[in-house]
Amino acid sequence: MLRSKQINGVLKQGLRNVPSSSVGPRAAVLSISLLSTSGTPLATVHDTHLEQAKITEDDLRVYTLIGVRQMKENEQQQADRGEEKQKSSSWEAIQIDDNLQLIIQEIPLGGSSSHNEGDNKHENGEGEAKPGSLYVVLFYSVDYPHEIAKLKVDSICSELAKKLEGFQGDI
């Protein structure tokens, strides 16, 4: 079983600065959270830049819920149009304000992908997340390169999916 220290260790990997000439001194990943199916934070790590950006943990919780809702609405719209969900993990990038952005990505659990499988479609009419899905949300400053932020989310999700392989149950 994966322990909270291990989860925090994986999340902290995303806070590490990337040596790059394209990353300015104010550019930073500010916070990363592992979220439950409902969007509740299960584990969160913050960078020291979070306080400098004058963003509170309550602000992050609200922004997280906005991100989860946006992703679910987009998935529902896609389903309403009769489009199949992409085989790759679903994700959304959202600019919160002039200084803050987030990327949220789904981690399918339960040993099988929740994408395009008839026996694993547990969505209700309101676009609720499927049982067996977790999310990772990464908050970063607008000066931080979007590509690097997406690569960090991909890496974290991949690592957590490996460590949680075979996990079944609603969180």
Q: What is the pLDDT of residues 23-42, one digit of tens each?
A: 666 788 999 999 998 889 99
Residue 21: pLDDT above 70?
no
The mean pLDDT value for 132-156 works out to 92
Compute the 3-state secondary structure of the chain and give helix, strand, coil in percent, each to the nearest 5: 35, 20, 45
What 8-state DSSP symbol labels residue 119?
G
Residue 24 has a pLDDT of 66
Separation CA 84–CA 113 (nearest Å): 14
Q: Is 128 helix (H, G, I), strand (E, B) or coil?
A: coil
Q: What is the pLDDT of residues 62-84, one digit of tens each?
A: 999 999 999 888 888 888 888 77
Residue 116: pLDDT above 60?
no
- Alpha carbon 120 to its chain centroid, in Å, reads 21
Assessment of whether the complete model's pTM goes beyond 0.85: no
Please report, rounded to a whole number, the percentage of residues in the chain having pLDDT higher than 70.
74
Q: What is the pLDDT of residues 124-135, one digit of tens each?
A: 444 444 556 899
Supply 156's token pair: 């974290």
Q: Answer for the pair 147, 18: CB distance below 8 angstroms, yes or no.
A: no
Q: What is the pLDDT of residues 103-114, one digit of tens each?
A: 999 987 765 443
Separation CA 129–CA 127 (nearest Å): 6
Supply 120's token pair: 């694993």
Half-sphere exposure of 138 (CA within 13 A, CB side): 32
Domains of the chain, each with CATH number or no CATH: 4-163 (3.30.450.30)
The average confidence (pLDDT) of the chain is 80
